[in-house]
Amino acid sequence: MTDVDPSTLASGPASGPALGHLEALTKDDLRRWLGRALRGQEPLPRLTIDEAPDITVARHESDLGSLVRKDLRTASMELMIRFIDEAGRATEDDDYVRALLGVVQRLGVDDAVVSLGMLAQGERFDAIRVEQQAAVLGALLDLRAPLDRSFWHRVAGRGRHLALAFTGLLRLGMDGVDVLPQISGDEIVADSLYVVLSQHARHLRPEDRNRLVGRVREVSGRCVAAIGAMLDEWLAEQEGRAPGVSAPTNEGLDEALEAFFAERHQPYERKPESAKLLPDVVAA
């Protein structure tokens, strides 16, 4: 993406719509303008120097007339179809693809879901850059594309985009949890997964949330350090205790100990005491 001219930053209230000049463009010219804008080649009234062009366009789109807004959606879809048609043949800039997918979502171009879904499930998907694959899968998740378990399992089976596959599968059930031990991510990935898990758990019924907690606990020990540590924190939060503080003794442990000693004809007495030798530190 080209550098942004600071003089194009929004500086205050303007007399008309910031993108008012689009009203005068033909459909073809509008598509060409949008393509250049998403590549950072058109001056845009950005709020910050690093604001992504799709955000700027979407923010000012509502100020435009209905016809040009409809034409912007059509232009977005056409650019998307071109990207899909040329997938694997022409190399697109990653930032452009991310901006294109962003503008499609922000402008609510629902038809893009079908086309993107077909791209993701087709053979040419493997031919596009890994970063762009991730952007497409992310867009499908954001657009709530109706993709089934087998699709996300296929994604996971390729050994890439496991965090995205986890998110997709989690929406369809608990299967996503089984993907967690395969994910080799750092703290940034772990933080993203934490958000996904937390948001998902928030909408579950208590009994389903407990099942999810149980499934996560089963796999947490097999995850890489950063993700395992995140899961420990998440489990602690779900169990209502501070991270690093041990889980409360569960009834299952009591029953297991009772059965263990009963089998051996030995008494089982749960007697609170101190692990330390010093008698004056016995827990109050």
Q: Which residues would be at the binding site for another protein (CB under 8 A)?
A: 217, 221, 224-225, 228-229, 232, 244-257, 259-261, 264, 268-279, 281, 283
Minimum separation from the CB atom of position 211 to another protein (A): 15
Q: Minimal CA–CA distance to 180: which of 126, 141, 139, 232?
A: 232
What is the C-alpha to C-alpha distance for residues 81 and 67, in angstroms, rounded to an integer?
21
Closest to another protein by CB, 3 vs 269, is 269
What is the C-alpha to C-alpha distance for residues 215 and 114, in angstroms, rounded to an integer?
33
Q: Minimal CA–CA distance to 11: which of 48, 41, 39, 38?
A: 48
Check residue 275 and give left, alpha or beta (phi > 0: left; psi -120 to 50: alpha).
Answer: alpha
* Structure tokens that stand for 7 in this block: 């003089």
Minimum separation from the CB atom of position 177 to another protein (A): 16
Q: CB–CB of 231/198 below 8 Å?
A: no
Closest to another protein by CB, 148 vs 273, is 273
Closest to another protein by CB, 188 vs 245, is 245
Closest to another protein by CB, 81 vs 229, is 229
Minimum separation from the CB atom of position 239 to another protein (A): 11
Closest to another protein by CB, 110 vs 218, is 218
